[in-house]
């Protein structure tokens, strides 16, 4: 990547839209140059429901980032979430046809194509095809089979799909804002680049991105994703409960949650209280922090139990040697890690963005894990000259080896 090129990541969330511009510095390190933010409009639970309103919010966020970076944006890497996301594990098998039975890139291409040849509803399309492992003549656990000798090559892959309408509406919204979409990336995949360590991915880790309207689940084993899901619930439900139980406006409930909330009783000082402003001329009311905790904790526990049930049904809970990592705006609520640790009976931590320069301290927060992760996702692609197989929702195949394979076949 030259110094004139930039990476632009766009996180289109339920509560806000974030645009980060980054470039490589003289030392080759990814450095944030501009940040833009706008309140989300025209979105519900991560899905575009009003193109015009969402378009204006995207324009506002990118324009702010452009002014700060002093650069002009032409194209963006956009995240996608919402209940329309589904993950499927699949397997493909091919015979090795190369000279001397030596596996080459074309064989890898063929076996991935075989794995992704699944029956899919007409209203869905593939976002990503991510190899988990390869098997050569029954020898499993191979990460890169190229140059190995074998007769039979198998691949196990994780396929992430989305409804066509959800991805196309994001692309249309960004295009009408005056920008091109380079790629659509599942937000939890992007965020994992910013938060998870290599060891956690290898050991097996549950990654939870708790946003305002949705909660993204991602399970890694052996360095690759095996399970992805999006729950249509998030931190917004916690605020709603507080608003209803205390009879206060939603915005006031959000402020109290962030300033005085906690979802783990052992952390609460039983003598502390919170002043709730009066509504409609009524006098302020003092509410014990313990009462607020007893409103917040059951709702967060309900979310974690829902996740636990899903993973238990899939048989994944016993394989999470790397524990649980929680990020997103919902991770800012004190006591989240402690409550999760109690429910899942495994180590839990809050995930903060890492390995990125030029980021102001206020943005080194779990709520910016997705947008910083999207930057790192793209940077790694550039460094590796593109993934072996990665399909974006616009239907354009970003695959370096596919192009080489096609060129090679023309001369056979």
pLDDT per residue, tens digit, the chain (412 aa), is 444 679 999 998 878 899 999 998 888 889 999 999 998 887 776 677 888 888 898 999 999 999 999 999 999 999 998 778 899 999 999 999 877 889 999 999 999 999 998 888 899 999 999 999 999 998 999 999 999 999 999 999 999 999 998 889 899 999 998 999 999 999 999 999 999 999 999 999 999 999 888 899 999 999 999 999 989 888 989 999 999 999 999 999 999 998 999 999 999 988 889 998 887 778 888 999 999 999 999 999 999 999 999 999 999 999 999 999 999 999 999 999 999 999 999 999 999 999 889 899 999 999 999 999 999 999 988 887 644 444 333 333 334 444 444 444 443 4
pLDDT (0 to 100) of residue 385 = 62
Residues 6 or more apart whose CB falls under 8 angstroms from that of 142 comprise 133, 134, 135, 136, 148
Backbone angles phi, psi at 377, to 5 degrees: -60, -50
pLDDT (0 to 100) of residue 183 = 92
Backbone angles phi, psi at 360, to 5 degrees: -60, 155
Within a 10 A sphere around the Cβ of 279, how many other Cβ atoms? 12
Contact status, residue 185 vs residue 377, Cβ threshold 8 Å: yes
Contact status, residue 394 vs residue 101, Cβ threshold 8 Å: no
**Rounded to two decimals, what is the model's pTM?**
0.87
pLDDT (0 to 100) of residue 412 = 41
Contact status, residue 56 vs residue 21, Cβ threshold 8 Å: no
Structure tokens at 25: 């510095």
pLDDT (0 to 100) of residue 401 = 43
Residues 6 or more apart whose CB falls under 8 angstroms from that of 97 comprise 107
pLDDT (0 to 100) of residue 26 = 85
- Signed CA dihedral, 356, 361, 362, 366: sign only: positive
Please give the CATH architecture assigned to the domain spanning 86-160.
2-Layer Sandwich (3.30)
Nearest to 291 by CA among 316, 321, 260, 313: 260
pLDDT (0 to 100) of residue 98 = 74
76 to 18, 28, 130: CA distances (angstroms): 12, 21, 22
- Signed CA dihedral, 277, 296, 241, 205: sign only: positive
pLDDT (0 to 100) of residue 4 = 60
Nearest to 76 by CA among 187, 201, 180: 180
Residue whose token pair is 């006591």 = 335
Alpha-carbon gap, residue 59 to 254, rounded angstroms: 26
pLDDT (0 to 100) of residue 265 = 94
pLDDT (0 to 100) of residue 407 = 41
What counts of helices (H) and strands (E) characterise the chain? 11, 18
Alpha-carbon gap, residue 233 to 240, rounded angstroms: 11
Alpha-carbon gap, residue 104 to 23, rounded angstroms: 34
pLDDT (0 to 100) of residue 92 = 95
Three-state SS for 273-313 is EEEECCCCCCCCEEEEHHHHHHHHHHHHHHHHHHHHHHHHH
Structure tokens at 309: 């049930």
Alpha-carbon gap, residue 165 to 155, rounded angstroms: 30
Contact status, residue 12 vs residue 54, Cβ threshold 8 Å: yes
Alpha-carbon gap, residue 368 to 39, rounded angstroms: 14
Structure tokens at 130: 């991510």
pLDDT (0 to 100) of residue 271 = 87
pLDDT (0 to 100) of residue 40 = 83
Reduce the DSSP state of residue 13 to 3 states and report it.
coil
């Amino acid at each position: 990547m030259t110094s004139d090129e930039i990476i632009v990541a766009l996180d289109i969330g339920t509560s806000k839209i974030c645009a980060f511009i980054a470039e490589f510095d003289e030392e080759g390190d990814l450095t944030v140059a501009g940040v833009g933010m706008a309140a989300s409009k025209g979105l519900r639970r991560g899905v575009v429901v009003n193109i015009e309103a969402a378009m204006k919010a995207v324009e506002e966020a990118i324009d702010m980032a452009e002014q700060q970076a002093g650069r002009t944006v032409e194209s963006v890497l956009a995240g996608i979430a919402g209940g329309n996301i589904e993950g499927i594990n699949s397997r493909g098998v091919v015979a090795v046809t190369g000279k001397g039975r030596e596996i080459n890139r074309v064989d890898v291409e063929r076996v991935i194509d075989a794995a992704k040849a699944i029956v899919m509803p007409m209203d869905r399309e593939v976002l990503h095809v991510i190899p988990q492992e390869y098997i050569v003549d029954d020898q499993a656990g191979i990460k890169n089979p190229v140059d190995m000798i074998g007769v039979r090559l198998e691949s196990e892959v994780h396929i992430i799909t989305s409804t066509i309408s959800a991805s196309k509406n994001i692309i249309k919204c960004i295009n009408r804002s005056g920008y091109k979409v380079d790629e659509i990336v599942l937000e939890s995949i992007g965020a994992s680049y910013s938060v998870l360590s290599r060891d956690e991915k290898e050991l097996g880790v549950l990654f939870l991105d708790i946003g305002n309207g949705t909660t993204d689940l991602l399970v890694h084993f052996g360095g690759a994703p095996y399970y992805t899901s999006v729950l249509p619930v998030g931190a917004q439900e916690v605020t709603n409960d507080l608003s209803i139980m205390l009879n206060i406006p939603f915005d006031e409930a959000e402020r109290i949650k962030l300033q005085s909330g906690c979802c783990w009783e052992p952390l609460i000082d039983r003598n502390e209280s919170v002043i709730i402003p009066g509504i409609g001329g009524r006098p302020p009311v003092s509410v014990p922090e313990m009462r607020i905790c007893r409103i917040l904790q059951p709702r967060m526990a309900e979310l974690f139990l829902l996740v636990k049930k899903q993973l238990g049904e899939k048989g994944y809970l016993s394989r999470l040697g790397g524990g649980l990592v929680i990020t997103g705006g919902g991770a800012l609520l004190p006591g989240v890690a402690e409550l999760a640790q109690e429910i899942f009976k495994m180590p839990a931590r809050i995930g903060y963005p890492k390995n990125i320069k030029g980021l102001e301290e206020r943005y080194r927060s779990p709520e910016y894990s997705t947008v910083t992760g999207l930057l790192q996702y793209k940077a790694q692609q550039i460094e590796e000259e593109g993934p072996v197989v990665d399909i974006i929702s616009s239907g354009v195949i970003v695959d370096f080896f596919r192009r080489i394979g096609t060129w090679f076949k023309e001369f056979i």
